[in-house]
Amino acid sequence: MPIRQDSPAVPSDKELKDRLYARDLENRLIITPLLMPEIHGGGIDIRLGTKFITGKRTGYTSFNPLRVDAEQALSMQRRSQIAFGGMFVLHPDQLALASSLEYICLPHDLAASVVTRSTFGRAGLLGATAVFVHPGFRGCLTLELLNLGEVPIELCPGMRIAQLVFLVHGGTDEPRPGKYSMATEPEFPKFWEDSDREVLRRIHGLPTRPSEEAG
């Protein structure tokens, strides 16, 4: 059932459970697979998926968001997939992009923030940013993981690594698909799809198309 307009900004655990099993598809919150769901404090725990992206050394002297294109971005990343029962090792000061195990579909009146579980935070594992998930989002989430500890951390697919904290969205506008919608694996940042990139390239005296640059 729809969440009441006079309900608090964070929905109750009962309201979330009602959404997960709602018959009305327009109002249903879809999280699949939903393995032993942990619902508490207006949030639902999500698990680590099997796909990862880490950086690798290249011949580029620097990373410039105004210059990078899809081909350059591909050369800067190393993709890996870890089977269930395997381990992904995140070294100190290393950043990795990982996918959530779950595919998520938010209804038009729910938004969410992704926060790292405090249990992992106390071990030195942090989400690099607090990811905001817009109403109407469809796809697997990209989790930005950073090891701030002194020793490597072993992570295995299926771990409850983060939590979705839900917020009631009172707007009536139809959500527009974002550039990371419908993803089924972690996504490298797509700077070349930013709406203001062409204007910024002109301000900095760069061709409006990165492919036009010399060299």
Which residues are part of the catalytic machinery?
144
Domains of the chain: 13-205 (2.70.40.10)
pTM summary value: 0.79
Helix, strand, coil percent content, the chain, rounded in steps of 5: 15, 35, 50
Residue 128, pLDDT above cutoff 80? no
pLDDT digits 0-9 by tens, 176-206: 666 667 778 888 777 777 888 888 888 888 8
From the CB of residue 63, how many other CB atoms can be counted at a distance below 10 Å?
A: 14
Q: Which of 23-27, 87-91, 208-212 has the lowest mean pLDDT?
A: 208-212
pLDDT digits 0-9 by tens, 160-175: 999 999 998 775 566 6
